[in-house]
Amino acid sequence: MTNPSLLILPGDGIGPEVMAEVRKIIDWYGAKRGLVFDVSEDLVGGCAYDKHGTPLHDDTMAKAQEVDAVLLGAVGGPQYDNLDFSVKPERGLLRLRKEMDLFSNLRPAQCFDALADFSSLKKDVVAGLDIMIVRELTSGVYFGEPRGIFKEGNERVGINTQRYTESEIARVARSAFDLAMKRGKKLCSMEKANVMESGILWREVVTEVSKEYPEVELSHMYADAGAMQLTRWPKQFDVIVTDNLFGDLLSDLAAMLTGSLGMLPSASLGAPMANGRPKALYEPVHGSAPDIAGQGKANPIACILSFAMALRYSFDQGDEAARLEAAIEKVLADGLRTADLMGPEGGTPVSTSGMGDAIIAALDASL
C-alpha cells in the first residue's frame, strides 16, 4: 500500500516560514502516529516567476494533477506589482484552481474560545462559532463571457457576465449537502433570486438536489440578508452554500467574525480521482504579508489548520484532524500568542517556530 502523496508549494513572503511549521507537524504524524506522507515540494507565485519566468511551471502543474492533495502557503509581493497581468504571482494560484477544476471552496469560520475577545462583535455572539461557507469557485461572474472594458459611443463600459449552468450549480450543491450530512444536517443557500435570473436558477437547482438529501434541512436566503444575519447572530447557520461572487464577500465577512483573518484555513475541492479522493488544494486565507516576511512574526496556525483540513477531507483522518485542532486550541488557551494575536489582555509572545513547537508539544501530550 502506497503512502498518500502531498505536494507542498510554500510560495512567497511568509509562505515558506509558515509551511516550515507544517512540515514539522507532518513529520510528527509520521513518527508518532504512523501516518507517513510522500511529500514533494515546488515553486508557485513570484518565486516561480523568478526562476522560470512564469508563476506556475508546466511541470509543477502536472505534479499537482497527480498527487492526492496540494498544500499552498501564499503568493505575491510588491516587487511583482508591475509585472504583466498574465504572469503576476496570483495567476499561478488561479491556474491551479482552474486546471484542477476545484469548483467547491470550503471556508470555515471557527472562533476559538481563547480568541473570542478579538472579534468586533460581542463575545456571546461569536464564542463557540463553527460555521462553513461553501463557495462555488470556477464559474459565475468572475469567469462569465462577455467580459472586458469596451468603448460604447463616447464612453467606456465595463462588462462582467454572471453565468451558471445547472450542472455547475448542482455539483457545488452536492458538495455542500455532503458536508452538511457530516455536520449539523442544516444547509442555507444564498443568492439574489429576487433580482437575478441566475439566482432563480440557483434556487431551483439547489432545491432539486435537496431531494437527494432528505435528512438535511434546507433554507434559502437572499445574500444581502445573509450578510446581515451573519453579523446579527452567526450561530444560526451551520453550512452555507453560495456562488462565486457572494461567496467571496460572505466568507471574508465571516472570517472577521472570528477576529483574526490570520487564523483561518481553506480547502478547494474538485471531482473524485480514480482513488476516490477529490482533487484538492489547501491554503490559509491570509496573504503573503511581505512586511513581516523573514522576521519570525508570522502566525502559522492558518496553514497548520489547512493541513488539518487535508487530513479530514483528503485522507479520511478525521480523528487525527480533531487531535491537531485540539492541540491548537490548547496552546491558545494556555495564552501563547504570535504578534498578530497579542491583544490588550496580553499573553506569552512566541515566534513562528515557537508556535509550531508548542503545538507539537500539545500533540505529544495528547498521546
Chain segment 40-83, per-residue pLDDT in tens: 999 999 999 999 999 999 999 999 999 999 999 999 999 999 99
Measured CA to CA, the distance from residue 62 to residue 315 in angstroms comes to 21
Topology of 1-111+262-367 in CATH?
Answer: Isopropylmalate Dehydrogenase (3.40.718)
Catalytic residue at 142? yes
**Active-site choice (42, 68, 248, 340):** 248
Q: What angle do helix axes 318-333 and 15-33 make, rounded to 10 degrees?
A: 120
Amino acid, single-letter form, for residue 321: A
pTM: 0.91
Rg (CA), the chain: 20
Mean pLDDT of all residues in 332-355? 89
Catalytic residue at 252? yes
- Could you tell me the three cell numbers for 155? 464612453
For residue 15, which of 38, 41, 40 has the smallest C-alpha distance?
41
In this predicted structure, the answer to whether residue 302 has a pLDDT above a threshold of 90 is: yes
Report the range of poorest mean pLDDT among 25-39, 147-161, 229-243, 342-356. 342-356
* Contact present, 273 and 258 (Cβ < 8 Å): no
Domain positions in the chain: 1-111+262-367, 130-257
pLDDT band at 114 (very low <50, low <70, confident <90, very high): confident
**Active-site choice (224, 297, 334, 357):** 224
Architecture of the domain delimited by 130-257: 3-Layer(aba) Sandwich (3.40)
Collect contacts of 197-206 with beta carbons under 8 A, ≥24 apart: 198/140, 198/162, 198/163, 198/164, 198/243, 201/164, 201/166, 201/169, 202/164, 202/169, 202/243, 205/166, 205/169, 205/170, 205/173, 206/169, 206/173, 206/241
Cα distances (Å, whole numbers) of residue 145 to 244, 248, 284 = 15, 19, 30
* Contact present, 219 and 187 (Cβ < 8 Å): yes
Longest dimension (CA), the chain: 71
Catalytic residue at 80? no
In this predicted structure, the answer to whether residue 297 has a pLDDT above a threshold of 90 is: yes
